[in-house]
Amino acid sequence: DAVGKVQAGGRIVFAAGDYDEGMLVSKPISLVGRCSSMVTISGVREGPLGPTVLEVKGDVEVSISDLRVSGHGIGILAHAASQLSVSRAILTDTQAGGILAFESGTSVTVNEVWVSGTQLDAQGSYGYGIEAGAGANVSVMRSRISENHSSGVGAFESGTSVTVNEVWVSGT
């Protein structure tokens, strides 16, 4: 488990391939793929909202770039005051949500990301492209959000904010 071995402030660089394991990131690190068309993280682990491919938790700064996230769970879940940056990534064919952010103090910046094909969860609910709630802040720039089941970009509950700039939302 590379996440467990890397030091705080370190970087995990993924070679081309499919990594069939869910990940919990609870320390400040960077996850960098060779290219989002060549590196896929597709496994799931049980997260606080159900099956999750990649969970970012706690008061940490994490960056994710140049990889694909796909699997039978939430693509990327950020919560518990985490600060997350996602760039040049593809999230496709996840369940419940492509990128979900919740809880006050949680901040997610999405830049040059494609979120598509998010399906309903096992109970037949959700299917969001990018969703923020419970006081989280999300900023989406220069991205494409398409063919998601329920919504492209959304926010719920007071204190939550979503900013969208140069984003194409279609087929949702």
Work out whether strand 45-47 and strand 50-57 pair parallel, antiparallel, or are unpaired. antiparallel
pLDDT at 122: 83
pTM over 0.85: yes
pLDDT at 58: 97
pLDDT in tens, 91-100: 999 999 999 9
- Three-class SS state of 16: coil
In angstroms, the CA 161 to CA 136 distance is: 7
In angstroms, the CA 82 to CA 169 distance is: 26
Q: Tell me the pLDDT of the chain averaged across its residues.
A: 95
Q: What is the distance, to the nearest Å, from the Cα of residue 117 to the centroid of all Cα atoms in its chain?
A: 14
Better pLDDT: 1 or 158:
158
Give me the mean pLDDT over the 75-88 stretch.
Answer: 98
- Return the percentage of the chain with pLDDT > 90, whole number: 90
Q: What is the dihedral of CA 111, 114, 116, 122, to 10 degrees?
A: -50
pLDDT at 25: 97
Asked if residues 56 and 76 have their Cβ atoms less than 8 Å apart, the reply is yes
Give me the mean pLDDT over the 117-132 stretch.
Answer: 90
pLDDT at 26: 97
As separate numbers, helices (DSSP H) first and strands (DSSP E) second, the chain gives: 1, 19
| Band of residue 165 on the pLDDT scale cut at 50, 70, 90 | very high
pLDDT at 1: 75
Burial 22-37 (b: 16+ CB within 10 A, else e): bbbbebbbbbbbeebe
Lowest mean pLDDT among 34-38, 112-116, 137-141, 168-172: 168-172
| 127 token code pair | 């299917």
Give me the mean pLDDT over the 37-66 stretch.
Answer: 97
pLDDT at 124: 83
